[in-house]
Amino acid sequence: MDKYPVNIITEEMIRDAEAKVNHVHVHRTVASKIDTLTGVLGEYIFAEYFYKDWKKNRVGRNKGKMDFHDIEIKASTFPFSERLNLLVRKDYAEKRKPPFYILIIIDAKTPIAKTILPKTKAYLCGWATWNEVDQSPMKDMGSKVSDCGGYQCHYIPISKLHPMEAFEKAYREFEHITQTKHP
């Protein structure tokens, strides 16, 4: 598992995220009681990884928009395994086309975690482009609370994601191309 960058969730991150949960909660199918907390912490983990400061996030200012400029974070609280997948709901994939998706797994002790504790590891599993997600297979992946989630998801196994070590270069190249086309 050394090939996946790991960040540690701090008590300060959890307290800050819990304070924002009610403000940023989105009304959609609930997979677990900590979905929104997981999403907020996923954004913090990415900010810590990419900007070296978890407070450089856009939580609360990005509702209905991409999590970061041209980047969408997909986070899940589940025991880490390389057999997990980047999941993007079909309805979401049809509405938005963020250039990059990043998968973060918050390593829970059980599949149906009810809380996230300080010192929990968060794995930055890799990334995919929106086109790769769009071309990926779909199926109902179920949910943590039942066998059927009731919605179709595009899925890409962690083993097929691009490694995080290649993300910054790909992101900078994309930004350069975008700025060149639209100065």
Query: pLDDT tens for residues 101-115?
Result: 999 999 999 998 999
Residues found in the chain: 183
For the chain, what are the domain ranges? 6-181
For residue 30, how many C-alpha atoms fall within 13 Å in the half-sphere facing its CB? 10
pLDDT of residue 61: 82
Q: Across the strands, what pairs with 89?
A: 153
Query: pLDDT tens for residues 55-90?
Result: 999 898 877 788 998 999 999 999 999 999 999 998
pLDDT at 178 exceeding the cut of 90: no
pLDDT of residue 1: 57
Query: pLDDT tens for residues 114-142?
Result: 999 999 999 999 999 999 999 999 998 76
Q: Structure pTM? A: 0.89
Q: How many angstroms separate the CA atoms of 1 and 80, rounded?
A: 9
- Are 48 and 124 in contact by the 8 Å Cβ rule? The answer is no
